[in-house]
Amino acid sequence: MDLMKRRSGGRPAGPHALLIGVLALGTTLLGGPAVASPAPTLHELASAQGRYFGSATDNSELSDAAYTAVLGSEFGQITPGNSMKWDTTEPVRGRFDFTKGDVITDFAREHGQSVRGHTLVWHSQLPSWVGALPQAEVEPAMVDHITEEATHYRGEVTAWDVVNEPFNEDGTFRSSPFHDAMGSDYIATALRAAHAADPEAKLYLNDYNIEGLGAKSDAMYALVSELLDEGVPLDGVGMQAHLAVQYGFPYEMRANMQRFADLGLDVAVTELDVRMQLPADTAKLATQSTYYQRVVEACLAVRRCVGVTVWDWTDKYSWVPSTFPGQGAANLYDESLLPKPALAAVRTALGEEDDGGGSGGTTLKALYRNNDSAVRDNQIKPGLQLVNTGGAAVSLQDVTVRYWFTGENGASTYSTWCDWSPLGCSTVTSRVAGSDPAAAGADHFLEVGFRSGSLAPGASTGEIQLRLNKTDWSNFDESDDYSRTGATSYADATKIAVYVDGELAWGVEP
C-alpha cells in the first residue's frame, strides 16, 4: 500500500464527476440545481479507508475520450488488461516490445495512478515459441522474460502478478510449459527472478475462484505457506473475483482473505466483475449490486486487503460477452458509460456520505397508514412500509424504524405485535423503549427491525401491520402522538424515522 502513488490534491473534473455529483444529490442532469461540489471519486473514497480503487484498461480503449475522462479521474490504480502479457512483450524469443505497456504506464503517471503489472508468467496469451522450447530451455527463457520485463517497469509498476492462474479448479497444479518443465518449483523461481529485477515491487500470485474457502483457495493457501516457509519473496495473493449472479457469492470471502492476511501477506481483489445472463433486469442488477458491495465490504474488513480493481469499469469494454456468449452487463457502468446500481452500492460500501441527509448514500423512505380508527383505546396500530428509493440494495438487517407516541398513565411495560407482513412476521422485530430525553408527543417509541432480507432498488417491504399495548391494557390518548396521523391510506411519513446502521436515513426526529 505504501508504494501506491497518491493523487496530489484535486482531480480532473471530467464529465463523470458532474454526473456523480448530480446523482448524489438525487436530481437529474438537466434542469437540476447547481452542483455545489463534486462527489468524491471511488479512489478518494477508498483512499479514505487506506485502500486503492482501480480498473483494468487496454490500449485500444485509450482513444475513447469519454472513457479516459472517467478512467483518469475516478480510479487511482490501473492494470493493463493485455499489454504486459508475454505474447505482447516478447512475441519472439529475445525480442522485447514494451510499447503498449509503456502507453499504460504513461497514462498512469499523467493521472497520478499506480499500476499493477499483469502478468509475467501465465499459461495463456503465451507466444507459441515458449511451448515449442525443449524442456531444459524453459527455465532460462522464463527467467529472461521476467528479468527483462520487471527491469523495464522498475519504478513504474508497484505490484506484479508474477504468476497467474497456477491452479486447476480441484487445487492441483495446472499444466503449462512452465509446470511441465520445472514442476511447481517454477513458481519460486519466477518470484525470485522478479524480486531480483525489481526489489521494490510487491510480488503476487493471482488466480480466480480462490475468493472463497474451498479446494482451490486451500491449494493457494498451502502453496503460499510453503513459499513463505522457504523464504521465497512473496508479498500478496490476488483474488481475481470474476463473479456471476447465477452462481453463489464466494463462500466466506472475508474469512478466506483473513487467513492469507494472517500469514503476513497482502490481499488484493484484482479483476472484479459480476456477469449475468442477458438481458439484464432489475433483479439481476440488484443481485449484482450486492455482490459488488459484499466484495468491497470484505476487503475493507481485512486490514491487509490493499485495494480493489474492477476488470474494466464499463460494459462497453468487458471481456465477458466474447468469452461467455449470452452473458454480460458485468461492470459498474453500462455500455453508454452510465452508472448502474452496482456503482452506488460500491460507493456506499466505501463509506460515501450522503449529502441529502441519508446514511452512507442509502435512500429509504417510510410510508404510514393508521390502522386504528379509535384515538382513545388500549392499542396503537401503525401500518408501515419502507421503500428503497436509492440505486443500491439495502440489507434490512441494518435498518431500524422508530414511531413515537405517548404512554400516558398506567403500566410502563409494553407488548408489541406484528400482525402481518409479506416478509413474514418472523423476520420483523419490534420493541418499545422510552425516549431519552422525552419530547412533546414522544415519551416512548416503537422500534421495528428486521432479522434478514434485502430491499432492491425501487422495492418496498410491503405493508407491515404493527400493534402495541401496555401490559395492563390501559388506554392511550393518541391525539398528541408525534408520529401519528389520521392517514387511512399509505403516505410518506416524515415523523417516522428510518435508520441505516444507526444513522438517520429518513424522517425528522422529535
| 442-450 vs 159-164, strand pairing mode | unpaired
Question: Could you tell me where the beta strands, DSSP code E, fall in 240-323?
Answer: 242-244, 266-277, 305-310
Nearer to ligand G3I, 240 or 461 (CB): 240
End-to-end Cα, the chain, rounded Å: 45
3-state secondary structure of 230: coil
Residue 219 C-beta: closest distance to ligand G3I, Å: 17
Interaction site with ligand G3I (CB under 6 A): 81-82, 124-125, 164, 240, 271, 319, 323
> Would you call 352 a catalytic residue per the annotation?
no
Helix (H), strand (E), coil (C) string for 362-409 = ECEEEEEEECCCCCCCCCECEEEEEEECCCCCEEHHHEEEEEEECCCC
**Exposed/middle/buried for 72, CB within 10 Å: 0-12, 13-18, 19+?**
buried
Q: What angle do CA 112, 57, 153 make, to 5 degrees?
A: 60
Beta carbon nearer to ligand G3I, 324 or 420: 324
Q: Which is nearer to ligand G3I, 164 or 309 (by Cβ)?
A: 164
Active-site residue, selected from the candidate residues 139, 271, 297, 352: 271
* Shortest reach from residue 379's CB to ligand G3I, in Å: 60
Closest approach of ligand G3I to the CB of residue 269, in Å: 13
Taking the least distance from each CB to ligand G3I, the nearer of 282 and 323 is: 323
Specify the length of the chain in residues: 510
Is 102:135 a contact under the CB 8 Å cutoff? no
Q: What is the DSSP letter of 41?
A: P
Cβ-contact 510, 497 below 8 angstroms: no
CB closer to ligand G3I, 124 vs 412: 124
Cell of 345: 452500492
Neighbours of 420 (CB within 10 A): 14
Instruction: Tell me the closest approach of the beta carbon of residue 165 to ligand G3I, in angstroms.
Output: 7
Q: Is 271 a catalytic residue?
A: yes
**Which candidate in 44, 90, 156, 165 is catalytic?**
165
DSSP letter string over 321-333? HHHSTTEE--SSB
Active site members: 165, 271
